[in-house]
A and B are shown apart, each in its own frame.
Chain A
Amino acid sequence: MPQGALAMLVLRVLRSGPLHGYAIAQRIRALSDSVLEAEEGSLYPTLQRMLVEGWVKAKAGVSESGRQVRFYTLTAAGARQLEREIAEYEQATAAIQAILRTA
Chain B
Amino acid sequence: MGRFLRRAWALLHRGSLERQLEEDMAAHREMMPAERRRYFGSDLRLREEAADHWGWTWLDHLRQDLAYGLRQLRRSPGFTATAIGVLALGIGVNLAEAHLFEALLHRLHVRDLDSLCHFYRFDPRDVASRVSLPEIDFYRRNNTVLSALIAETNLSSPLYMAEDTARLKCSLVSGNYFGELGVAPLYGRLLDEQDDRPGAAPTAVLAYDYWQSRFGGDASVMRTGVRINGKPVAVVGIVPPQFGGLDWHPEVWVADLQQEYLTGHALQPNDFSVRASSMYGRLKPGVSREAAQEHFRVLTAELSKQQPLYVDRSEWLKVEPAQARRILHPAEVLLLSTFILLVLMVLFSACANLGNMLLARGLARRHEIEVRLAVGASGLRVMRQLMTENLLLAALGTLAALIVGRASAGLLLRMVGAPSDLILTTDWRVVLAGVALGVMAMLAFGLAPAMQSVRGGPKATRARKILVSVQVAASCALLILSSFFTRAMERSFLGVVAFDYSRMALVDPMLYLHQESPASAREEALEIAARLRGTPGVEGASLSTNPPEMRGHVVHLGGRQLAIDEVDGTYFATMRMALLAGHIFGPDEPDAVVIGESAARQLWPNESPLGKRLTIEQRSHTVAGVVKDSGLSQAWTPEAVEVYLPVSDQHAANATLVVRTARDAAQMAGALRPAATIVGANVVVYTFRGLIEQRFTAVRKMLRVVGSLAGVASLLALLGIFGLLAFTVVQRTREIGVRMALGARGRDILGIVLGQYAVPFGAGSLCGMALAGASAAVIRRIVFGFMPFDVWSFGAGLALFGAVALAASVAPARRALRVDPASALRWE
The chain A residues found within 8 Å of chain B, CB to CB, are: 20-22, 25, 37-42, 44-45, 48-49, 51-54, 58, 60, 63, 65, 67-70
Contacts and interface: CB of A to CB of B under 8 A. Distances in A.
B30 interface: yes
Contacts of A44: 21, 24-25, 28, 46, 50
A12 to B, nearest CB: 19
Given A65-B27, A67-B23, 6 more contacts: A41-B46, A42-B49, A49-B53, A54-B3, A60-B20, A68-B27
Nearest to B29: A41
Contact of A40 (B2, B7, B21, B28): B28
B40 A40 contact: yes
Contacts of A67: 23, 27, 30
Nearest to A65: B31
B54 interface: yes
Interface string B14-34: 000000110111011011100
A22 B28 CA distance: 5
Given A40-B39, A42-B41, A67-B27, A52 B32 contact: no
B43 interface: yes
A51 B3 CA distance: 9
B329 interface: no
Contacts of B826: none
Given A39-B40, A41-B46, A48 B54 contact: yes
Given A40-B41, A41-B41, A52 B28 contact: no
B6 interface: yes
B223 interface: no
B50 A45 contact: yes
14 contacts: A20-B24, A22-B28, A38-B39, A41-B42, A44-B25, A44-B28, A45-B50, A48-B53, A52-B10, A58-B20, A65-B30, A65-B31, A69-B27, A70-B24
The 3 closest A-B pairs by CB, nearest first: A41-B41, A45-B49, A39-B41
Contacts of A63: 27, 31
Tell me which of A21, A41, A65 has the highest count of chain B C-beta atoms within 10 A of its own C-beta: A41
Contacts of B10: 51-52
B277 to A, nearest CB: 65
A46 B42 CA distance: 15
A58 B32 CA distance: 21
B36 interface: yes
Nearest to A58: B20
Contacts of B39: 37-40
A48 B50 contact: yes
Nearest to B36: A40
Given A22-B32, A52-B54, A65-B31, A42 B46 contact: yes
A34 B708 CA distance: 74
A54 B6 contact: yes
Nearest to A23: B31
Contact of A41 (B2, B7, B30, B43): B43
B2 A45 contact: no
Interface string B683-726: 00000000000000000000000000000000000000000000
Nearest to A37: B39
A58 B20 CA distance: 10
Nearest to A25: B28
A49 B49 CA distance: 9
Interface of B: 2-3, 6-7, 10, 20-21, 23-25, 27-28, 30-32, 36, 39-43, 46, 49-50, 52-54
Nearest to A64: B31
B23 A69 contact: yes
Contacts of A45: 46, 49-50, 52-53
Contacts of A54: 2-3, 6
Contacts of A68: 23, 27
A69 B24 contact: yes
Contact of A22 (B31, B42, B46, B49): B31
Nearest to B42: A41
A53 B53 CA distance: 9
Nearest to B25: A44
A91 to B, nearest CB: 26
A52 B27 contact: no
A37 B20 CA distance: 24
A53 B1 CA distance: 11
A6 to B, nearest CB: 12
A21 B10 CA distance: 19
A48 B21 contact: yes
B303 to A, nearest CB: 66
Nearest to A42: B41
Nearest to A60: B20
B33 to A, nearest CB: 11
A55 to B, nearest CB: 11
Nearest to A41: B41
Contacts of B30: 65, 67
Contacts of B50: 44-45, 48
A69 to B, nearest CB: 5
A1 to B, nearest CB: 15
Tell me which of A48, A65, A67, A68 has the highest count of chain B C-beta atoms within 10 A of its own C-beta: A48
Contacts of B36: 40
Contacts of A20: 24, 27
A100 to B, nearest CB: 35
Contacts of B43: 41
A67 B43 CA distance: 19
Contacts of B21: 44, 48
Given A40-B36, A40-B41, A52 B31 contact: no
Given A49-B53, A65-B31, A70 B41 contact: no
A98 to B, nearest CB: 36
Contact of B3 (A37, A53, A58): A53
Nearest to A67: B27
Contacts of A49: 53
A74 to B, nearest CB: 16
A37 B32 CA distance: 13
A58 B6 CA distance: 13
B813 to A, nearest CB: 61
Contacts of A41: 25, 28, 40-43, 46
Nearest to B49: A45
A2 to B, nearest CB: 16
A41 B26 CA distance: 10
Nearest to B2: A54
A52 B20 contact: no
A42 B53 CA distance: 13
A58 to B, nearest CB: 8
B32 A40 contact: yes
Contacts of B54: 48, 52
A28 to B, nearest CB: 13
A49 B6 CA distance: 11
A34 B279 CA distance: 84
Contacts of A70: 20, 24
Tell me which of B28, B30, B42, B52 has the highest count of chain A C-beta atoms within 10 A of its own C-beta: B28
A91 B52 CA distance: 31
B785 to A, nearest CB: 67
Contacts of A38: 39
A44 B20 CA distance: 11
Contacts of B42: 41
B28 A21 contact: yes
Nearest to B22: A44
A22 B6 CA distance: 25
A69 B52 CA distance: 22
Nearest to A24: B28
B30 to A, nearest CB: 7
Tell me which of B27, B32, B52, B54 has the highest count of chain A C-beta atoms within 10 A of its own C-beta: B27
